[in-house]
Amino acid sequence: MASLTIRKLDEGVKTYLRLRSAKNHRSVEEEVRVILRELIEGREEPLTPFAVPPAASTAPVSQRTGALPEASVTLIIGGGIAAFKSLDLIRRLKERRIEVRCVLTKAAQQFVTPLSVSALSHERVYTDLFDPQSEFDAGHIRLARDCDLIVVAPATADLMAKMANGHADDLASAILLATNRKVLLAPAMNPLMWNNAATRRNVALLQRDGVVLIGPNSGEMAEAGEAGIGRMSEAIEIAAATERLLRPPVPRPLAGKRVLITAGPTHEPIDPVRYIANRSSGKQGFAIAAAAQAAGAEVILVSGPVDLGDPQGVTVKHVESARQMLEQVQAALPADIAIFAAAVADWRVANEGEQKLKKTSAGMPPLQLVENPDILATISKLTDKRPPLVIGFAAETEHLIDNAKSKLARKGCDWIVANDVSPATGVMGGDRNTVHLISRRDGEIAVDSWPAMTKEQVAIELVAHVARSVTDKSLESAS
Ligand code: C5P
- From the alpha carbon of 394, which atom of ligand 1 is closest? 6
Query: Which residues lie closer than 8 Å to 249 by C-beta, 6 or more apart?
Result: none
Element (H, E) at 93: helix 83-95
Q: Does the pLDDT of residue 271 top 50, yes or no?
A: yes
Residue 257 marked ligand-binding: no
Strand-pairing partners, residue 303, are 263, 318
Q: One fold for both 71-220+227-246 and 258-347+369-474?
A: yes
Give me ligand 1 centre to Cα 95, in Å: 49
Query: Which residues lie closer than 8 Å to 211 by C-beta, 6 or more apart?
Result: 163, 183, 184, 185
CA nearest neighbour of 376 among 409, 328, 346, 340: 340
Q: Does the pLDDT of residue 90 top 50, yes or no?
A: yes
Q: Does the pLDDT of residue 448 top 70, yes or no?
A: yes
CATH class given for the domain over 258-347+369-474:
alpha beta
pLDDT mean over 242-263: 93
Element (H, E) at 221: none
Strand-pairing partners, residue 417, are 393, 437
pLDDT of 68 reads 35
Question: Do 121 and 134 contact (CB within 8 A), yes or no?
Answer: no
Confidence of residue 370 (pLDDT cuts 50, 70, 90): very high
User: How far is residue 455's CA from residue 4's CA, in Å, rounded to a whole number?
Assistant: 31
Instruction: Give the chain's mean pLDDT.
Output: 87
pLDDT of 223 reads 75
| Helix 235-246, helix 83-95: angle, nearest 10 | 50
Cβ of 260 below 6 Å from ligand 1:
no
CA nearest neighbour of 353 among 277, 270, 274: 270
How many CB atoms are closer than 10 A to CB 208?
9
pLDDT digits (tens, 9 = 90+) for 313-340: 999 999 999 999 999 999 999 999 999 9
Confidence of residue 240 (pLDDT cuts 50, 70, 90): very high
Residue 111 marked ligand-binding: no
Question: Do 131 and 139 contact (CB within 8 A), yes or no?
Answer: yes
CATH of domain 71-220+227-246: 3.40.50.1950
Shortest-distance Cα residue to atom 5 of ligand 1: 394
Q: Does the pLDDT of residue 27 top 90, yes or no?
A: no
Cβ of 303 below 6 Å from ligand 1:
no
- From the alpha carbon of 342, which atom of ligand 1 is closest? 12
Residues that are catalytic: 278
pTM: 0.63
Domain residue limits, the chain: 71-220+227-246, 258-347+369-474
Cβ of 263 below 6 Å from ligand 1:
no
Residue 455 marked ligand-binding: no
Cβ of 322 below 6 Å from ligand 1:
yes
Residue 317 marked ligand-binding: no
DSSP state of 248: P
**What is the bridge-based pairing of β-strands 415-420 and 435-441?**
antiparallel
Shortest-distance Cα residue to atom 2 of ligand 1: 394
Cβ of 418 below 6 Å from ligand 1:
no
- From the alpha carbon of 379, which atom of ligand 1 is closest? 20
pLDDT mean over 95-107: 95
Q: Nearest 5°: phi and psi at 440?
A: -100, 125
pLDDT digits (tens, 9 = 90+) for 410-444: 999 999 999 988 877 777 778 888 899 999 888 88
CA distances 197 to 154, 157, 190, 351, Å, are 20, 12, 14, 91
pLDDT mean over 20-42: 73
User: How far is residue 144's CA from residue 81's CA, in Å, rounded to a whole number?
Assistant: 25
What percent of the chain is modeled with pLDDT above 90?
67
Give me ligand 1 centre to Cα 381, in Å: 14
Element (H, E) at 365: none
Cβ of 264 below 6 Å from ligand 1:
no
pLDDT mean over 13-18: 72
Residue 356 marked ligand-binding: yes
Q: Does the pLDDT of residue 218 top 80, yes or no?
A: yes
Question: Do 138 and 161 contact (CB within 8 A), yes or no?
Answer: no
Cβ of 27 below 6 Å from ligand 1:
no
User: How far is residue 308's CA from residue 232's CA, in Å, rounded to a whole number?
Assistant: 51
Q: For a pocket test of ligand 1, which of 261, 376, 408, 419 has the largest count of ligand atoms closer than 8 A to its C-beta?
A: 376
User: How far is residue 173's CA from residue 152's CA, in Å, rounded to a whole number?
Assistant: 11
**What is the bridge-based pairing of β-strands 435-441 and 444-449?**
antiparallel
Confidence of residue 52 (pLDDT cuts 50, 70, 90): very low
Which value, in Å, is the radius of gyration of the alpha carbons in the chain?
30
Residue 149 marked ligand-binding: no
**What is the bridge-based pairing of β-strands 227-231 and 258-263?**
unpaired
Name the more confident of 408 and 426: 408
Give me ligand 1 centre to Cα 376, in Å: 6
**What is the bridge-based pairing of β-strands 217-220 and 227-231?**
antiparallel
Task: Look at 190-194, 225-229, 337-341 and tell me which has the smallest mean pLDDT.
Answer: 225-229
Query: Helices (DSSP H) in 345-452: which residue ranges?
Result: 375-380, 400-411
Cβ of 374 below 6 Å from ligand 1:
yes
pLDDT mean over 221-230: 80
Give me ligand 1 centre to Cα 375, in Å: 7
pLDDT mean over 66-89: 86
